[in-house]
Structure 1
Amino acid sequence: MASVKGDLIDRLVDEGARLLVAEGLGGLSLRKVAAAAGVSTMPVYTLFGDKRGLLAAMHREAFRRLGAALAAAGPADDPLQHLGLLGFAYRQSALDGPHLYALMFGQVFAELPADEDGRAAADAAYLPLVDGVRAAQTAGILAEGDPEPVALHLWAVAHGMVSLEINGHLPALGDPADMYAIALNNAIQPFLRM
């Protein structure tokens, strides 16, 4: 069961992400976040200190949620199936929190780099994919080699498809989930062991 403080932080993070997407960095303030969450400004300042603290917390929480979604995908007996489960967990996490997804990969953190904890959270969310590729290589399903470039390629395809879908730019060629599955399947093909 989540704590009251944890629930409040989640609510503030979600409202902050919505405001950031809707109004941009200049339109984000702790007062607006407090109002949107229906709380006084006191807990917002106590929890985050300032706008930069709120942004850092939003960034960490976004990647924490992504990491939790990937971990919940769980291992599969077949390493290739496991990579597919990770891909669909990535998509579902993005669809469940499009505002946080925009925050993780948007322009804000190019301008305001993540703190050490934020970078660690981002790295931790990426590692399951690298480990999944490594497991598929070890099982002889994928060609041997450094798993990092393969993981990056798979992530780029997943990220591109999800970004197109969230932003309404995915061509109307069929069901988005089916199109995503096809894209993931096509992305892994060059790395399959012949």
Structure 2
Amino acid sequence: MARTKNPAARSLLIERAAQMLRSREPVTLRSLVAGTGVSTMAVYTYFGGMDGVWKAVRQEGFSRLAVRLATVTVSADAVRDLTALGSAYLSNALDNPDLYRVMFDATFDLEDSHAADQSLHHLVRAAERARDSGRFRGDVDPLELATQSWTIGHGLASLVATGPLPRQMLAHGVPLLTALFVSAGDDPGRCRSSVEQGWNLPSSPPCDDAPGEKA
């Protein structure tokens, strides 16, 4: 009889692989399952081997990002919404630093590249709305502007969520995005207000919490 797959075991191995990568531990078949209570055969059962693990780890990162972006509500202020999407992107990176580090390692393919494309499309649609409502110039390319917004978010996430800078540096996102959107044609005062409304990041964790440490 075929053995029933356990989704919890699959998730456990994905999280374990991401954490090991972040702590720069060598990830092998045996080290991945060590201490988990899961057998090495499970790696083949759930992923078809180690290459499948890396694909699944990358995919999980983008899947969680897609879920987070989908929680951003659409308002009458498209510039606020575009900022809120960038804020959600950063919040996801702060909550999932292990997975975030692996998401952009193109050594291994994604299980479903559509999920990654959909993340960017959230920003493209908000940029289109801002342009069509007159906040941005008519010649602004929504894809280009969305990519520039993503670049700002990715830079901050890389330096804070998985890098050397303190979380307070995330406040730089407000002037950076304001400058970008003003260059696209938005009114400076109105733009600043919209960006400040959309930029809603969680406060810093207590000082005695070690990075990546879980309660």
Corresponding letter in the other structure for 2:174 = A
Corresponding letter in the other structure for 1:169 = P
Corresponding letter in the other structure for 2:47 = F
1:146-168: CA deviation from partner (whole Å, max 9, x where unpaired): 21111111111111111111244
Counterpart for residue 115 of structure 2: 121
How many residue pairs end up in the alignment?
Answer: 182
Shift of 1:142: 1.5
1:58 aligned to 2:52? Answer: no
Whole-Å separation in 2 of the counterparts to 1:119 and 1:30: 25
Counterpart for residue 138 of structure 1: 132
Q: Percent identity?
A: 31
Corresponding letter in the other structure for 1:11 = L
- Alpha carbons 1:30, 1:51 under 8 Å: kept: yes
Counterpart for residue 152 of structure 2: 157
Identify, as 1 or 2, the structure richer in helix. 1
Counterpart for residue 198 of structure 2: none
Counterpart for residue 104 of structure 2: 105
Unaligned ranges ≥5, structure 2: 188-215
Counterpart for residue 204 of structure 2: none
Unaligned ranges ≥5, structure 1: none
Q: In 2 relative to 1, CA 74–29 (structure 1 residues): closer, same or farther, beyond 3 Å? A: farther
Trace 1:176-191 onto structure 2 (pairs within 5 A): 176-191=169-184
Whole-Å separation in 2 of the counterparts to 1:177 and 1:161: 6
- Alpha carbons 2:54, 2:108 under 8 Å: kept: no
Corresponding letter in the other structure for 1:102 = R
1:65-96: CA deviation from partner (whole Å, max 9, x where unpaired): 11111111222221111111101100000011
Indicate the RMSD between aligned Cα atoms, in angstroms. Answer: 2.2
TM-score by length of 2: 0.76
